[in-house]
Amino acid sequence: MVLKRITFRLLLPAIAGAALGFFALALAVQDEPIIAPALLSVFSPGLKLAELLAPAKHESLGSTFGGFLRIALGVNMAFYFGILALVAYLVDRRRSR
């Protein structure tokens, strides 16, 4: 019972958050010129944060792009994990009543 609850609250949101974060970044990069920056920051916060942090380095292009992707994916995955973990917690709480 406890293992099922931990899986539902942590593991599933982590996997789904990783996938959603990756796809949100892909859509944000593709549609960046079309979508307003405020809306872009709402559904892909990692992109804007990576744009602020990655150009500060003066290294090779591959290193800079790798750092950009690590920051953007990490922030997006954490963002969507937080949202999905909260939803899982609320569903589990409602189900246990």
pLDDT of residue 9: 74
Which tens digit of pLDDT belongs to each residue from 42-86? Answer: 888 998 888 888 766 577 777 778 888 899 999 999 999 999 989
Helix axes 45-53, 12-30, angle to 10 degrees: 70
Q: Which pTM was predicted?
A: 0.81
Contact criterion met (CB below 8 Å) for 34 and 15:
no
Residues 18-25: what's their mean pLDDT?
A: 90
Would you list the domain boundaries of the chain?
2-96
